Amino acid sequence: MSRTPLDTVEHAAATPDVELPWAELGLKKDEYERVVEILGRRPTGAELAMYSVMWSEHCSYKSSKVHLRQFGEKAPESDALLVGIGENAGVVDVGQGYAVTFKVESHNHPSYVEPYQGAATGVGGIVRDIIAMGARPVAVVDPLRFGAADHPDTKRVLPGVVAGIGGYGNCLGLPNIGGEVVFDACYQGNPLVNAGAIGVMRHEDIHLAKASGAGNKVILYGARTGGDGIGGASILASETFDDAKPSKRPAVQVGDPFQEKLLIECTLEAFKEKLVVGIQDLGAAGLSCATSELASNGSGGMRVTLDDVPLRDSTLSPEEILMSESQERMCAVVEPGKVDRFLEICDKWDVIATVIGEVTDGDRLEIFWHGGKIVDVDPRTVAHDGPVYERPYARPDWQDALQADDANKLPRPQSGEELKDQVLRLVSSPNQASKKWITQQYDHFVQGNTVLAQPEDSGMIRVDEESGLGVAIATDGNGRYAKLDPYTGAQLALAEAYRNVATTGAKPLAVSDCLNFGSPEDPAVMWQFAEAVRGLADGCRQLGTPVTGGNVSLYNQTGEAAIHPTPVVAVLGVIDDVARRTPVAFQEEGQLLYLLGDTREEFGGSAWSQVIHDHLGGLPPKVDLERERLLGEILISASRDGMIDSAHDLSDGGLVQAVVESALLGDKGARLVVPDGLDAFTFLFSESAGRALVAVPRSEELRFTDMCGARGLPATRVGVVDGDAVEVQGEFALPLAELREAHEGTIPALLA
């Protein structure tokens, strides 16, 4: 893009008729005209580069802003919330002077183009968001969606993604404690690689992304800037893949976890010595983002000399340097008297660090190259005042027919033998089968503070060694439910993540989200998005769990085929003492199994309807968030007071899936009795929400049932932990050995 002579601000003002490649960089004609209006002249090539990446869908949220405002407008009161939406990650108070920061983001499109590096750099980017808040990263999670399990391309994408997540996270020394893996043909050309991270700090260590204090120095540190990922996530995630023509597919970023590990330790040492005024990681949009956001969030302007940026490739133009998304880089604002010490720490950790500019007392972001001024902008116009679209949206004309195609009317098993066969088919189906082949490639226990990890209902990390204070996190989302009803589907994702956290004994506190949808230019997709956001905002208000931040990923479609709307919700919870957590596995024979909540005929979007009938239709399960809150309170109290020894939420696959998982994890069977008023089929396969299965020691039965009765929560005794089979009285018995072979053999066979 470089031109001769140098395209300075002065040159741009004198040559208004020079044609710039705004369309090639992803800008619409009216957006380019808006840039010209803002500047009062045509932009320089460098300015155009900055506006193009910062006004991309991925960075500016231009199609989603009008809906995302609900998360602030409907936010519940929360004493725990310390930093909310707008920063690199949300921060919540977990007690004893500790704060926890967490966030979920997407790296979907890069992971399809180059699975290993796309997934690896997704982990690296979310971890840097956590560091930028002042926290030490302590764990990662990975909600994943792939195409059909038996599709040849899934064998290309899935192993690469898993290797990238494991390779990067393991090298950083961060345990992978949670997530999910879902297969569906709708994700065939658009896998969803969402990555989350958690960090821990003291309250006084919170840092924000702002550049304040005239004369303070701007220091770029970490890896050198290269040509990899120029416009990577920012442009790539803002365009639909198209089967008919080559799409924009810029070079995917390349990660170096060992460099990131040095960056973590270097940054934390600088924080400890209180050397940093403001900090920002370089993720999507690279230096364009870091400089404009730091300047716009601060109290002054910024002057940067681009010649001082350490390069891996000396041929890079200034536009390419500004757009590069090379990994493992951060920008810090440091007082002049502390610069030498900051550079010493960087040198100690073998991290390249260079002063590239300073904070000014003006209100402009000015960038120089070879002695000429190539950028002179109001940083807010780049970072915050991009386009805002009120995209047209409309309920799709096929929605009524989809909902009328009632899954409750599908043929059901007529005998115990048929029930047994369908249970085996369910637990061995790719979505319900064990994901051990995947999760065993991750280190769950590095650092020694992991208390619970996959396949538990939520991951759990010890925060304080002495008191046992800990935090739990669960991520959930069901695109099939959301396709049937996006409002309810989003609330079901929230309810499941909330329930998964409570099931382990932790109190849910706050939410992060990753909203994965198709093209916002399709009114039907935009309706799905609007409904999902509305549902999530309403649900968070009712449950008292504020949204602290997150990510929107749009254009997840190939040609006209969009993915199912997939809002992924992460819920963070706190537990006073991790020694009192509740695991999924059955612990002792003779313990009584209680089903908490109400079971109804609800099969719309269910695993049973998908596995047995390849069907998607009807309505998803109803949501009762007050019941979810009550169930959570009962589970937390029972865990704290020693009334239950194991617990498992009921969701995909219903009761039978939960029983099989708990039995196999504990290597103890279960004998079940169908309660009065229910048939065996509904009892086993219904996916009614607001339910959990708990194992109660006989000595605690009266205390536990009295508590449930006093609080008005239905608690039905449905069996006992016993034997070496899962038996439904009068229907069938399945030996654990047969169940284990079916449950654990599927994924290795598919990916062999």
The enclosing domain of 342 has a CATH number of 3.90.650.10
Q: Are the CB atoms for 42 and 36 separated by under 8 Å?
A: yes
As averages over each run of 10 residues, the pLDDT of the chain (752 residues) reads 74 94 92 96 96 92 95 94 90 97 94 94 94 96 97 95 95 96 96 97 89 92 89 57 43 86 96 94 90 90 96 93 93 97 98 97 95 96 93 97 97 97 98 96 93 96 97 98 98 98 98 97 97 98 96 93 97 97 98 98 98 98 98 98 97 98 98 97 98 98 98 98 97 98 96 82
Q: Which residues contact 224 (CB under 8 A, 6 or more apart)?
A: 310, 311, 312, 326, 352
Q: Are the CB atoms for 157 and 750 separated by under 8 Å?
A: no
Domain assignment present for 514: no
Three-state DSSP state, 629: helix
Tokens of 466: 């002495």
Phi, psi of 101, deg, nearest 5: -110, 140
Q: How far is CA 601 from CA 138, 375, 681, 684, in A?
A: 41, 62, 9, 11
**Would you call 97 exposed, middle or buried from its count of C-beta atoms within 10 A (0-12, 13-18, 19+)?**
exposed
CA 470 to chain centroid, in Å, comes to 20
Q: Are the CB atoms for 350 and 223 separated by under 8 Å?
A: no
Work out the number of other CB atoms within 10 angstroms of the CB of residue 246: 6
The residues with which 303 forms a beta bridge, in sequence order, are 358, 366
Q: Is 464 annotated as a binding residue?
A: no
| Cα 508 to Cα 277: distance, rounded to the nearest angstrom | 32
User: Does one domain contain both 301 and 410?
Assistant: no
Spatial CA neighbour of 356 closest among 339, 338, 381: 339
Tokens of 293: 């956001």
Q: Which residues contact 710 (CB under 8 A, 6 or more apart)?
A: none
Q: Is 491 annotated as a binding residue?
A: no
Three-state DSSP state, 552: strand
**Any alpha helices (H) in 152-256, and if so which ranges?**
152-172, 232-236
Work out the number of other CB atoms within 10 angstroms of the CB of residue 303: 20
The pLDDT of residue 227 is: 86
Domain assignment present for 366: yes
User: Does one domain contain both 268 and 414?
Assistant: no
DSSP state, 609? H
Instruction: Say how many domains are in the chain.
Output: 2
Q: Are the CB atoms for 127 and 172 separated by under 8 Å?
A: yes
- DSSP string of 460-500? EEE--TTT--EEEEEEE--HHHHHH-HHHHHHHHHHHHHHH
The pLDDT of residue 246 is: 34
| Cα 715 to Cα 577: distance, rounded to the nearest angstrom | 26
Which residues form the domain of 421? 398-433+582-752
Tokens of 642: 């020693």
Residue type, 625: L
Q: Are the CB atoms for 184 and 429 separated by under 8 Å?
A: no
Q: How far is CA 178 from CA 29, 455, 457, 501, 572, in A?
A: 43, 8, 8, 11, 12
Tokens of 335: 């007082």
DSSP state, 333? E
For 295-329, give the secondary structure using H, E and C. Answer: HHHCCCEEEEEHHHCCECCCCCCHHHHHHCCCCCE
Phi, psi of 358, deg, nearest 5: -150, 160
Q: Give the chain's largest Cα–Cα span.
A: 88
- DSSP string of 341-370? HHHHHHHHTT-EEEEEEEEESSS-EEEEET
User: Does one domain contain both 370 and 408?
Assistant: no
> What sign does the dihedral 225-227-228-233 (CA atoms) show?
positive
Domain assignment present for 363: yes
Q: Is 103 annotated as a binding residue?
A: yes
CA angle 559, 560, 562 (to 5 degrees): 100
Tokens of 581: 């957590």
Domain assignment present for 706: yes
**H or E, element range at 511:** strand 507-516
User: Does one domain contain both 374 and 406?
Assistant: no
Domain assignment present for 550: no
Q: Which residues contact 653 (CB under 8 A, 6 or more apart)?
A: 426, 427, 432, 607, 608, 685, 687
Q: Is 551 annotated as a binding residue?
A: yes
User: Does one domain contain both 311 and 404?
Assistant: no
Three-state DSSP state, 730: coil
Q: Is 406 annotated as a binding residue?
A: no
User: Does one domain contain both 732 and 603?
Assistant: yes
Q: Is 86 annotated as a binding residue?
A: no
The pLDDT of residue 482 is: 98
Catalytically active residues, by annotation: 58, 107
What's the pTM? 0.95
- Cis peptide bond N-terminal to 5, omega within 30: yes
Q: What Rg value do the Cα atoms of the chain yield, rounded? A: 26
Q: How far is CA 139 from CA 131, 174, 207, 476, 573, in A?
A: 12, 5, 19, 17, 14
DSSP state, 273? T
The pLDDT of residue 300 is: 86
| Cα 457 to Cα 496: distance, rounded to the nearest angstrom | 10
| Cα 539 to Cα 567: distance, rounded to the nearest angstrom | 13
Q: Are the CB atoms for 606 and 685 separated by under 8 Å?
A: yes
User: Does one domain contain both 341 and 411?
Assistant: no
User: Does one domain contain both 297 and 407?
Assistant: no
The residues with which 720 forms a beta bridge, in sequence order, are 592, 671
Work out the number of other CB atoms within 10 angstroms of the CB of residue 551: 23
Q: Is 327 annotated as a binding residue?
A: yes
Q: Is 128 annotated as a binding residue?
A: yes
| Cα 564 to Cα 185: distance, rounded to the nearest angstrom | 10
User: Does one domain contain both 341 and 429?
Assistant: no
Q: Is 108 annotated as a binding residue?
A: yes
Q: Are the CB atoms for 229 and 250 separated by under 8 Å?
A: yes
Tokens of 296: 């716009």
Domain assignment present for 303: yes
Domain assignment present for 551: no
Q: Are the CB atoms for 232 and 110 separated by under 8 Å?
A: yes
Q: Are the CB atoms for 746 and 429 separated by under 8 Å?
A: yes
Q: Are the CB atoms for 279 and 263 separated by under 8 Å?
A: no
> Look-up: residue for tokens 């066979």?
749
| Cα 226 to Cα 325: distance, rounded to the nearest angstrom | 8
User: Does one domain contain both 329 and 406?
Assistant: no
DSSP state, 25? T
User: Does one domain contain both 403 and 329?
Assistant: no
Q: Are the CB atoms for 437 and 751 separated by under 8 Å?
A: yes
Domain assignment present for 633: yes
Q: How far is CA 242 from CA 477, 555, 620, in A?
A: 26, 11, 31
Phi, psi of 49, deg, nearest 5: -60, -45
DSSP state, 699? G
User: Does one domain contain both 265 and 403?
Assistant: no
Q: Are the CB atoms for 473 and 573 separated by under 8 Å?
A: yes
Q: Are the CB atoms for 446 and 573 separated by under 8 Å?
A: no
Instruction: Encode pLDDT of 255-303 as tens digits.
Output: 899 999 999 999 999 999 999 999 999 988 899 999 999 999 888 899 9
Q: Is 373 annotated as a binding residue?
A: no
| Cα 514 to Cα 477: distance, rounded to the nearest angstrom | 10
> Look-up: residue for tokens 């010490």?
341
| Cα 520 to Cα 187: distance, rounded to the nearest angstrom | 17
Work out the number of other CB atoms within 10 angstroms of the CB of residue 701: 15
